[in-house]
Amino acid sequence: MKRVILYLVVVVVMVGCGKTHPVKLEVDPAMESGSISKVAVFPFSSALHQSADPDRVAPRTFDQLFRKALDEREDYQWIAPTSVSYMLESEGMEQDAEAFVDRWRKKRQADVAFLKKLGKELQVDGVLIGVVELWQQDEVDVRETATPTTYVGATVTIFDVNDGKVLFEASDEDFLEGARSENRDQQIVRSGAGQIYSDPGGSMYKAPPPEEVALKVVQALVGSIPAR
């Protein structure tokens, strides 16, 4: 008798010199087998304190960048966040969805009943949620020797709608340093794309725009989803 033993493949890359992206990756064999083909994508949520992102720029930025990156992954059928949100509103499931994401983020507990209902309504195999966990710009006083830096991080999780099992989870964070100017009468930031941002008369060196760092994080997260 042949026995098939399923096991969870977990790859954790510790942060350090020569950091690998994503920095943490967990993949279930079911995700690698190709049995998961249709996935509902939730809008990104935020684990940031309101004071760190009062206008919720971070989740909106990730939504836009993540959607574009997923469009290039034609090996899966992705149900867009707009379609998912419309269904949740139509079926009166918005509060349930918020509670599901919040409970997972804080307690790592998945609401299986909610996932089953969602899977039935959308006819999907999995549900993807994303959480922005780091969105920080460190500006530097011109009198200091430090370098202005922007940090961005996020986690993406895909659940099996049948039993709430985590099929895939990846976390990544990255940073981008700005360039200092020898002229103390001007703020200068040279982004990764080579663009220069300046503010004459500023007393602080500005950090690079977080959108550029977010793009690097998104590329690492989407690129780590197993190919079908």
| 203/96 Cα distance (integer angstroms) | 47
Tell me, yes or no, whether 155 lies in a domain: yes
- How many structural domains is the chain composed of? 1
| 190/178 Cα distance (integer angstroms) | 5
The CATH number that applies at residue 216 is 3.40.50.10610
**What domain range is 99 assigned to?**
24-29+37-177+210-223
Tell me, yes or no, whether 14 lies in a domain: no
Tell me, yes or no, whether 13 lies in a domain: no
Tell me, yes or no, whether 152 lies in a domain: yes
Collapsing DSSP to helix, strand or coil, 98 comes out as helix
pLDDT at residue 181, as a whole number: 54
Collapsing DSSP to helix, strand or coil, 39 comes out as strand
Give tens-digit pLDDT for 157-182. 999 999 999 999 999 999 998 865 54
Residue 49 has pLDDT above 70, yes or no: yes
pTM: 0.82
Tell me, yes or no, whether 50 lies in a domain: yes
Split at pLDDT 50, 70, 90, the class of 187 is very low
Burial 9-34 (b: 16+ CB within 10 A, else e): eeeeeeeeeeeebbbbbbbbebbeee
Over pLDDT 90: what percentage of the chain?
70
Give tens-digit pLDDT for 51-91. 999 999 999 999 999 999 999 999 999 999 999 999 999 99
pLDDT at residue 59, as a whole number: 97
Report the candidate in 119, 222, 220 with the shortest Cα–Cα distance to residue 165: 119
Tell me, yes or no, whether 52 lies in a domain: yes
* Average pLDDT of every residue of the chain: 85
Tell me, yes or no, whether 171 lies in a domain: yes
